[in-house]
Structure 1
Amino acid sequence: MSGASGPPVGEVSPGEAWRILEENSSAMLIDVRTRAEWGFVGVPDLSEVGQSAVFVEWASFPNMSANPQFVAEVMEAIGDNTPNMLLFICRSGARSFRAATTIAEHFKRVEVQAQCLNVAEGFEGDLDPQGHRGGHNGWKARGLAWRQS
């Protein structure tokens, strides 16, 4: 998948994301949901693969206003050693795709080589026939490690 004018952003399933994080110690998972989502819904637990997720809001609850410092906050979280692969996750995959594209475009401008991947399905996944999230698909429904924060 790629943005219309931006650099290509790949997409992986939650299971593929877990495998990447397990096998690539340089990879990093960036959760771009809101503080409210982290607190009430839970967060990926990467301790089993010796990693920790990074938490940077793409937009803020309740009005979902864009975070004007998103790129700066991600760069600060990454630090001096840019991972070779960054995986972005949100509730269902839409915000994280925009976030991954934004960071990929930033990397292109500053000539940094790193692959940006969107975690399809996100943390909670799509709505099921009853209108609920978390049981149809997504990180939680796929049985990947998570915890309440």
Structure 2
Amino acid sequence: MSTDIGPRVSELLPTETWDCLKTLSDAVLIDVRTKPEWDFVGKPDLSSLGQSLLCIEWIRYPDMSANLRFAEDVKDALDGATPSKLFFICRSGARSLSAANAVAEAFLSEGKSVDCINVAEGFEGDVDPQKHRGGLNGWKARGLPWEQS
């Protein structure tokens, strides 16, 4: 029997996330990777949906320290809104799961319920047999819109 009464974070594949973002105008995608990852690897492009991506580091570059204000940064970026769904994405799905749990907990502590969803596989996905990311699964490999600066 589980005694864990904290918020639960669900997971969706990148394509399922895209479909939700297409149909739910108040849903928000938050990329929790670092600035170098956004700049050099790329990031999801939601412009065809008329939406903007929120980029908020879960781990701060360059010292790779925890962003202790992450949940507050998310709330500040939402400017008082409580979206129906918040999607979280990172490279492969691990950091974003932690970030989603932190935000779900922060909203719950205020008595608000927000559906926080981790994007399984992340932006680059799993490592292939050649130890490369981006071709096996994930946002990029599934052919979803993305951009690179």
* TM-score above 0.5: yes
TM-align CA RMSD: 1.0
TM-score, with structure 1 as normaliser: 0.95
Superposition map of 1:1-149 within 5 A: 6-149=6-149
Tell me, what secondary structure is at the counterpart of 2:133? coil
* Deviates further, 73-82 or 28-37: 73-82
Structure 1 residue matching 2:99: 3-state secondary structure:
helix
Give CA deviations for 1:36-81 in whole Å, capped at 9, x if unaligned. 1000000100011111110100002233210111111100011122
Structure 1 gap ranges (5+)? none
Q: Residue by residue, what CA displacement relative to the aligned partner does 1:77-116 show, whole Å, maximum 9, x if unpaired?
A: 1112211100000000000000000000111110112100
CA distance in 2, matches of 1:5, 1:148: 40
State the alpha-carbon separation in 1 of the partners of residues 8 and 113 from structure 2. 12
Distance in 2 (alpha carbons) for counterparts of 1:122 and 1:39: 16
Q: Which ranges of structure 2 fall in alignment gaps of 5 or more residues?
A: none
Higher mean alpha-carbon deviation, 86-95 vs 62-71, is at 62-71
Tell me the distance in 1 between the aligned counterparts of 2:128 and 2:5: 33
Counterpart Cα distance in 2 of 1:32 and 1:8: 19
**CA contact under 8 A between 2:104 and 2:113: conserved in structure 1?**
no
Tell me the distance in 1 between the aligned counterparts of 2:33 and 2:130: 23
Write out the 4+ residue segments of structure 1 that deviate beyond 4 Å after TM superposition.
none
The 2-side partners of 1:63 and 1:137 are apart by: 29
